[in-house]
Amino acid sequence: MPDEEKNEFTVIVCGGGNAAQVATAMYSARYSTIAVSLYADEAAKWKEALGDNDYELTLDTGKVLKSRPDDITNDPSVAAKADMIVLAVPSFAHGQYFEAFEPYIKKGTVIACMPARSGGDLLLAAKLGAKADDVTFVGFETLPWACRFTDWGKKATILGTKGSILAAVTPPANTPKAFAMLQGLLGVFPNCTYSPNNLGISLRNPGAQIHPGVMYGRWCPEKWDGNPVDE
């Protein structure tokens, strides 16, 4: 019988919005977790808001999870500690994080983008250069949850969890390891469902078609008079 041992695992969550705060709270309950935000002074504000308290996450099951990350920072050098990096930020910000992490990222790190709709694997290769061959990229078609923070920096609620989400791994040979790690972070749901390649994740994603229509429907001349709104 193999000897049991302590398996250390460190995950970095990038961002400070709804999904990033939910992911940070969820992962912190079991693993060493560091939240990184490179946006303005968001990290400092989040750290100050949380103080010495636990973050309170209300799951869609009704259970309440209390945890706190090991750190909340804007220092990209913490990437040297990461076994996995999860980017829960819009696609336009991915390049900023890839570039900032490049000097510090270690061989074997798994980098997952939720979602990755804009050629994330190609952007990673461009920003990391030769190091891109030593890491694994996972592109998710969408976010795992519908969620909102109820008290910024302190509390959030998961309104619903998807049953499954498509994900593609580059290189494909690393799919079993990457999926095992991600499923361990997410729990039973959503189920990480295999997608053959990241090109498909980028090109067939419905968000690129649906979101422009939603925005036009909200701000078209028939709905908006062109004057500033209160909020």
CB 83 within 8 A of CB 177: no
CB 21 within 8 A of CB 156: yes
Which letter does DSSP use for residue 229 in this model? P
| Residue positions counted in the chain | 231
Say how far apart CA 22 and CA 13 lie, in whole Å: 10
Q: Is 94 a catalytic residue?
A: no
CB 79 within 8 A of CB 101: yes
Which residue in the list 187, 208, 211, 224 is annotated as catalytic? 211
Which of 45, 87, 89, 64 shows the shortest CA–CA distance to 155?
64
Say how far apart CA 77 and CA 158 lie, in whole Å: 30
The SS3 assignment for 219 reads helix
Q: CA quadruple 166, 171, 173, 174: dihedral positive or negative? A: negative
Q: Which phi and psi (to 5°) does residue 139 adopt?
A: -110, 120
Residues designated catalytic: 211
